Structure 1
């Protein structure tokens, strides 16, 4: 049996929400930074129904002035039988 890390989407989304609020940014502000036509992607990130792409995570990291590790929440309790 192997233990693999997985990304906790909901916890990561809550982190994105918290970091956005702590930065004093609105969803609209992030929408403009990313050049998105609608804010739906950002809401999906915050609700944990979707993950930002790696390039969008890097932008979030720069905007929030934190490392990627401070955005992404990783669980290590996923077990896979061989």
Structure 2
């Protein structure tokens, strides 16, 4: 059985962690080379899925998926 990921709740947790770490949506946009920051906001709202989500968590936010709940709690 595979766990399901609640994209909206994940986005809420990531916003909290980004705030704690001082990472702005613009920083993620520039890191990924997106033309507009709106894609990052859609991702945080749970509307789209980034294939590179794990890279963002690991490299930019320095967290593992298992640690997200503890950090955001």
- Where on the TM-score scale, by shorter chain, does this alignment land: which range? 0.7 to 0.9
Q: Distance in 1 between matches of 2:56 and 2:23?
A: 14
Distance of 1:49 and 1:42 partners within structure 2: 10
Runs of 4+ in structure 1 deviating by more than 4 angstroms, as ranges, are none
Consecutive unaligned residues in structure 2, runs of 5 or more: none
- Count of equivalent residues: 69
Q: 2:60 aligns with which of 56, 63, 66?
A: 63
- Bigger relative CO (Cα 8 Å, ≥ 6 apart): 1
1:1-80 to 2 correspondence within 5 Å?
A: 4-53=2-51, 55-71=52-68
Which structure is higher in helix share?
2
Name structure 1 gaps, 5 residues minimum. 73-82
Contact 1:20 1:26 (C-alpha < 8 Å) held by counterparts = yes
Q: TM-score, normalised by structure 2?
A: 0.75
Q: Give the TM-score normalised by structure 1.
A: 0.69
